[in-house]
Structure 1
């Protein structure tokens, strides 16, 4: 049987992030279409905050606007593997998977892990959204990307991405990546 697996956003129906609206609409359209669909609601990618970790270590600061909000990170590789499993296993039509890491971490914990692994001082600097927007703009990011990142951090601060599920672990058949492993991988890349 053929299957369309749509990669959406975690808890798309209730997710407050601006980007989630597009996913809600797409999920609604796909469900109404009658096509054989599985919804893969991907959590926050680990790489969204570890992709610049080497630079953060060099500066001694990991900046953001997420406050003490926790994020149930999952790596892109884990999410891709889960999608491949859904596409190759029977009985997945109509299923909805909220794919997150098993544990939620703060950005302060990410910075502390980077400091522990490198021996360099690294601290999380929580900026007001407007200051974070300015920093990202100054770094040369295009305005739409800046708005997406700032909006996401504001939602993280409001606990929007904190809720781990067991769906990813179940599809992988093993535990999801730990914070220590994610930071070590980011520092090597």
Structure 2
């Protein structure tokens, strides 16, 4: 991909999104776009579509999500499921509607069954039950993976899913209730 093409990084201020931003800048990408949640509510379908129509990025990297640890997932299951589906669905569907050819969806290894054999393989997805402490987040992320697969299959677009694991770094959250 040309280094001057416009790339939108959703979640560019979070731990993963900011790391992606720094890595792309280091590689010489000069036309990166980011919006804070105050500037663009990714749960608002119309706002997302308007933003994508206006900006017309060549590619989207979706690192945006409602995230948290075991306690947060347990205490707020509805929010983890609904907000993550809204965010990713609005971005993925908006990208398709606007004609964006490249989309990278960042998921999580928690989408795989709790007792999946190691090392994990893609074929293990949906073969057994999930870890109950983060199933709400995992179910949302599984729908994002499947949306990207469906778009690749039906429309031939370059929409892919990546599952980072064991994340740790700048901007990580160590709060006992929300980490």
Give TM-score, length-normalised by structure 2.
Answer: 0.28
Q: Which structure's CA Rg is the greater one? A: 1
Structure with the bigger RCO (C-alpha within 8 Å, sep 6+) is: 1
